[in-house]
Amino acid sequence: NTLRKGRSRVIERNHVVILGWSEQVFTVISELAEANRSNKDAVIVILCDRDPVEMEDSINSRIPDKKNSRVICRQGNTSLMSDFEIVSLDLARAIIVLSQDDDDSETIKTLLAILNNPHRKKAPYHIVAEIRDPGNLQVAKLIDKDNEVELLMVGDFIARIIAQTCRQPGLSLIYTELLDFEKNEIYFIPAGQTAGSSFGEAISTFENSSVIGFIGQDNVPHLNPPMDTPIGP
């Protein structure tokens, strides 16, 4: 009965959890499936208040080819701490919080429940959350005391892209190439053999990929730095 109602616990780890449901869920799943193409058994788990069978039918009709990814749907309250156990939230490698019905209140309640859960894991979460109203951005930042959440001002972000692509034809193709997971992708790897060399020397080290920058001891990305910039360990 619990399994039929979509309330059984998901026994997974290193999976991606999506909390909430909106039209964006199909794009998110498609991109994650493409990103996980090289992963033999990638898992995406969705938790929201919808019927699991309806969710699965919608996903299967919109995304028939999920590559190597499995999508598991569970029914529950995204701001209820006890329901986080259903999707094994503490074992997930990433958490995505979708804005539901353009209402930021649910997103904020979800973030509060995750970050203030007395039984949460000690290690930091990796959370990406949508915010629609600029007026709610500061409230969300106050909740995120330990910088565990990447907040995306979706409306403002899209408006800026639209304005820029109107001024510069072809820019949308560049954004698509950078942001989607088809063809070329951006990876982060340890410095390894490039440690101690300059950025210019590192560029010629890789035959099948292009070095575009590095993250230094300051944890700040440096894109296309001067060729004589040293790379540390």
Name the strand (E) or helix (H) holding 97.
Answer: strand 94-97
Write down the pLDDT at residue 5.
Answer: 54
- For residues 190-204, average pLDDT: 92
CA distance 163 to 142: 30
The model's pTM is 0.80
Distance (Å, rounded) from C-alpha 118 to C-alpha 84?
Answer: 12
- Model pLDDT for residues 178-187, shown as the tens digit of each residue: 888 887 788 8
The whole-number average pLDDT for the span 95-101 is 89
Q: Is pLDDT at 3 greater than 60 in this prediction?
A: no
The 10s digit of each residue's pLDDT in 112-136 is 999 999 999 999 999 999 998 888 9
pLDDT at 1: 52
**6-17 mean pLDDT:** 88
Choice among 9-13, 31-35, 152-156 with the minimum mean pLDDT:
152-156
Question: What confidence tier does 157 reach under pLDDT thresholds 50, 70, 90?
Answer: confident
37-75 pLDDT, tens digit per residue, is: 888 889 999 999 999 999 999 999 999 999 889 999 999
* pLDDT at 59 (0 to 100): 96
Q: Quote the pLDDT of residue 4.
A: 52
Rounded Cα gap, residues 224 and 163, in angstroms: 26
Check residue 32 and give left, alpha or beta (phi > 0: left; psi -120 to 50: alpha): alpha
